[in-house]
């Protein structure tokens, strides 16, 4: 076993696994490199750990697992986390899940996991198409396999003609006509405010209704994606005489986390997002480091924010917003 890690040491450490490890060449192997993660994150990242065991014991990693100098060895242990950070966590999670499903299928039929054979991948994609209802699972599998091979430093089999033509053929087979979603209009926003916060009952506040209306008004007026809206904390808001400035620390289009600021102006109408945001914040009384849009708990008096500083989930937000505008 490896010696206890020093303070601030990277979480990647080589250690001896069970007698039989992950097979990446169609044969059992005796030793693997495992990913040690904080206990609170282990359950949420099991698929990432499994995928990492395959990638970081294959290709260039198998050739350079141990360095001849202690400092270089410590640097080598940092490389996996550094390379995984080249993509967003959600992307790495999606790719890892795709790679894990391929690993299970390949082991079941005695195929080489990594590096994979292009014919085996074509067979696997055809297998996925038997239950797929859209091209998404096929494309996700190809993207995950391509990513894993590049991470392992081995040739990418998904660029082979066999895989390219299979992928394209299945996309054509499973594709369906695009049904565009109807955009939310300003009239829908006005109807939402009139229904949930009637003009004559502005003093009678229902926290669930106020939260729904506030999320819609802020997202609509600031052109925010859900992940940008849900990650807003109280400290990200700067109220001024003209409105409010919202700091967006990270977003899909800001991969290097440089951050940006969005200004939302006050309006002299019932649909003013700034006034509604002020009403909502007065009701919830959140702290500086807390997310302002969180799940609610029903009480005898009405609703209150749920304990624990967790933003509202996409699924729940989608439910309440669709219920309100449909």
Least confident of 10-14, 55-59, 140-144, 247-251: 10-14
Please say which residue of 149, 174, 199 terminates a domain: 174
In a domain, 192, yes or no: yes
| Residue 28's pLDDT band (cuts 50, 70, 90) | very low
Q: What is the domain range of residue 301? A: 187-325
316 vs 11, more confident: 316
β-strands 243-248, 303-305: how paired? unpaired
pTM for the model: 0.63
- What is the rounded average pLDDT of the residues 287-313? 89
Same domain, 28 and 165: yes
| Digit-coded pLDDT (tens) for 211-237 | 999 999 999 999 998 889 999 999 999
Q: What pLDDT score was predicted for residue 8?
A: 44
Residue whose tokens read 């260039």:
60
Q: What pLDDT score was predicted for residue 137?
A: 94
Q: Are 191 and 198 in contact (CB under 8 A)?
A: no
Phi and psi at residue 118, to the nearest 5°: -60, -35
294: Cβ contacts below 8 Å, ≥ 6 apart = 305, 306, 308, 309, 310, 311, 312
91: Cβ contacts below 8 Å, ≥ 6 apart = none
Please say which residue of 123, 152, 174 terminates a domain: 174
Please say which residue of 123, 146, 174 terminates a domain: 174
Least confident of 62-76, 143-157, 208-222, 260-274: 62-76
Q: Which two tokens stand for residue 168?
A: 């394209």
Number of domains the chain is built from: 2
In a domain, 5, yes or no: no
**What CATH number is given to the structural domain containing 96?**
1.10.150.130
């Amino acid at each position: 076993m490896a010696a206890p890690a020093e303070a601030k040491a990277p979480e990647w450490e080589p250690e001896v696994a069970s007698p039989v490890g992950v097979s990446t060449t169609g044969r059992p192997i005796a030793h693997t490199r495992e990913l040690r993660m904080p206990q609170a994150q282990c359950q949420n990242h099991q698929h990432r750990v499994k995928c990492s065991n395959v990638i970081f014991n294959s290709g260039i990693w198998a050739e350079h697992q141990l360095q001849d100098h202690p400092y270089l060895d410590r640097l080598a242990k940092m490389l996996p986390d550094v390379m995984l950070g080249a993509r967003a966590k959600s992307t790495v999670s999606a790719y890892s899940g795709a790679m894990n499903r391929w690993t299970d299928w390949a082991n079941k039929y005695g195929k080489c996991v990594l590096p994979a054979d292009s014919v085996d991948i074509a067979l696997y994609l055809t297998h996925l198409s038997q239950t797929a209802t859209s091209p998404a699972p096929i494309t996700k599998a190809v993207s995950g396999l391509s990513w894993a091979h590049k991470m392992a430093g081995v040739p990418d089999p998904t660029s082979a003609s066999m895989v390219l033509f299979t992928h394209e053929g299945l996309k054509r087979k499973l594709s369906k006509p695009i049904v565009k979603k109807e955009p939310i209009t300003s009239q829908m926003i006005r109807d939402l405010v009139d229904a949930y916060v009637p003009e004559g009952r502005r003093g009678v506040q229902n926290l669930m209704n106020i939260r729904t209306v506030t999320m819609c008004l802020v997202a609509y007026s600031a052109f925010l994606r859900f992940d940008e809206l849900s990650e807003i904390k109280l400290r990200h808001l700067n109220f001024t005489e003209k409105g409010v400035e919202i700091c967006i620390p990270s977003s899909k289009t800001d991969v290097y986390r440089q951050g940006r600021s969005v200004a939302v102006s006050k309006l002299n109408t019932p649909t003013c997002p700034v006034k509604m945001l002020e009403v909502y914040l007065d009701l919830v009384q959140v702290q500086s480091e807390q997310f302002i849009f969180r799940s609610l708990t029903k009480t005898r008096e009405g609703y209150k924010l749920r304990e624990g500083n967790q933003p509202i989930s996409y699924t729940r937000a989608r439910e309440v917003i669709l219920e309100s505008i449909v």
